[in-house]
């Protein structure tokens, strides 16, 4: 997909962070943009920000407040997009996401239902609701494309982010499948896998639904403050949006957004794959291989700061000392993994 002017984009999580950056970029490219979020105040603010950045009319931005895991509400939102802009989106970008940190063995059903619900099930909802409409309207007549914002966490084990890493791995595979499936219709798919974004995902726990509040993780204002300090150093959302735009224009299926060359990005991915390959080895062989890999491991820095330390090695602020730990009242959890 190379021509965006006059077309329609639908972006989840579009009221802030990466989604808002994408909305600004594609609005500036001439698209009418529908943004979805669960926070009305953020949606109201985003309309003005998008218009100010791109110079578009505010009527070219449609704000939709609904829960992405609610299929009936999602279908109603799709109807509203068509009624407002005259058709389904030519570009579907699913960026909404949530995360929480803690030992995977301390996870509750609520932890999985919340994180996997938003990060994977909602992506399925968007694809199943929108893609048939997009095919009917545009197949082999007009360019269209689907994209999802995943994570570098999709390529690695995440014992402290189990639900999130599992969901993102599933999202990646899903998008590879759609990239193949959409070929007969003249379309394709892209999965964006950033390492760190300057976003407010650190506050996600504040918006966890009341019926899914039973977490096995230690969560506090301090832990959220810590996450926000980490994400504040991430890639700028508009810059990330421009990277996604270039990827869509050039039919890239996987996007690893950093400041390295294409070959360096491929080398990073090979290194991550080697970690998975090490799981095939025996215990001693695996330990030796992992030690070797870690010597060469360099996390992707934020921006141009090549000397930036990996976020999780930064000083933990006061009040967040138990970041990534489980609740202290889980009696069977190892003491080393419990919040003190």
Cα(106)–Cα(218) distance, rounded to whole angstroms? 10
DSSP-derived letter for residue 16 is S
Instruction: Round the average pLDDT of the chain to a whole number and report it.
Output: 91
State residue 71's pLDDT score: 98
In the predicted model, is pLDDT for residue 314 greater than 50? no
State residue 257's pLDDT score: 83
In the predicted model, is pLDDT for residue 227 greater than 60? yes
pLDDT grade, residue 271 (50/70/90)? confident
State residue 212's pLDDT score: 98
pLDDT grade, residue 55 (50/70/90)? very high
Beta bridge partners, 190, equal 147
Architecture of domain 8-225+234-260 in CATH?
3-Layer(aba) Sandwich (3.40)
pLDDT in tens, 135-181: 999 999 999 999 999 998 898 888 999 999 999 999 999 999 999 99
Beta bridge partners, 32, equal 8
Task: Give yes or no: 185 in active site.
Answer: no
State residue 200's pLDDT score: 84
Beta-strand runs (E) in the chain: 8-12, 32-37, 61-65, 91-94, 145-149, 188-192, 254-255
State residue 300's pLDDT score: 44
**For residue 151, how many other CB atoms are within 10 A of its CB?**
26
Query: How do beta strands 145-149 and 254-255 pair?
Result: unpaired
pLDDT in tens, 185-224: 999 999 999 988 988 888 999 999 999 999 999 999 999 9
Cα(250)–Cα(239) distance, rounded to whole angstroms? 17
Higher-pLDDT residue of 55 and 228 is 55
Task: Give the torsion sign (CA, 151, 157, 158, 164).
Answer: positive
pLDDT grade, residue 311 (50/70/90)? very low
Which backbone phi and psi does 66 adopt, to 5 degrees?
Answer: -160, 165
Q: Transcribe 84-103 into DSSP letters.
A: HHSS--SEEEE-------S-
Active-site choice (74, 138, 164, 178): 164
Please tell me the least confidently modeled range out of 23-37, 76-90, 97-111, 146-160. Answer: 146-160
pLDDT grade, residue 305 (50/70/90)? very low
State residue 317's pLDDT score: 61
What's the angle, vertex CA 42, arms to CA 38 and CA 45, rounded to 5? 145
């Amino acid at each position: 997909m190379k021509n965006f002017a006059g077309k329609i984009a639908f972006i989840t999580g579009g009221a802030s962070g990466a989604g808002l950056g994408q909305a600004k970029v594609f609005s500036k490219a001439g698209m009418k943009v529908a943004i979805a979020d669960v926070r009305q105040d953020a949606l109201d603010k985003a309309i003005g920000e998008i218009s100010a950045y791109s110079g578009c009319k505010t009527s070219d931005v449609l704000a939709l407040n609904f829960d992405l895991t609610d299929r009936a509400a999602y279908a109603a939102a799709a109807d509203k997009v068509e009624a407002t802009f005259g058709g389904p989106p030519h570009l579907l970008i699913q960026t909404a996401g949530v995360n929480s940190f803690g030992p995977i063995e301390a996870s509750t059903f609520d932890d999985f239902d919340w994180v996997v619900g938003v990060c994977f099930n909602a992506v399925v909802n968007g694809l199943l609701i929108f893609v048939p409409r997009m095919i009917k309207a545009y197949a082999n007549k007009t360019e269209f494309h689907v994209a999802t914002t995943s994570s570098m966490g999709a390529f690695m084990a995440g014992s402290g982010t189990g639900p999130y890493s599992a969901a993102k791995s599933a999202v990646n595979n899903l998008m590879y499948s759609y990239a193949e499936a959409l070929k007969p219709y003249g379309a394709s798919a892209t999965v964006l896998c950033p390492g760190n974004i300057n976003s407010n995902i650190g506050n996600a726990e504040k918006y966890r639904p009341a019926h899914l509040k039973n977490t096995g993780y230690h969560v506090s204002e301090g832990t959220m403050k810590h996450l926000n300090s980490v994400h504040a150093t991430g890639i700028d959302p508009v810059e990330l949006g421009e990277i996604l735009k270039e990827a869509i224009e050039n039919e890239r299926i996987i996007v690893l957004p950093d400041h390295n060359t294409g070959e360096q990005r491929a080398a990073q991915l090979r290194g991550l794959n080697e970690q998975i390959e090490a799981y095939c080895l025996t215990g001693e062989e695996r330990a030796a291989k992992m030690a070797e890999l870690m010597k060469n491991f360099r996390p992707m820095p934020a921006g141009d700061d090549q000397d930036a330390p990996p976020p999780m090695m930064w000083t933990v602020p006061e009040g967040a000392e138990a970041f990534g730990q489980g609740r202290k009242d889980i009696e069977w959890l190892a003491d080393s993994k419990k919040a003190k």
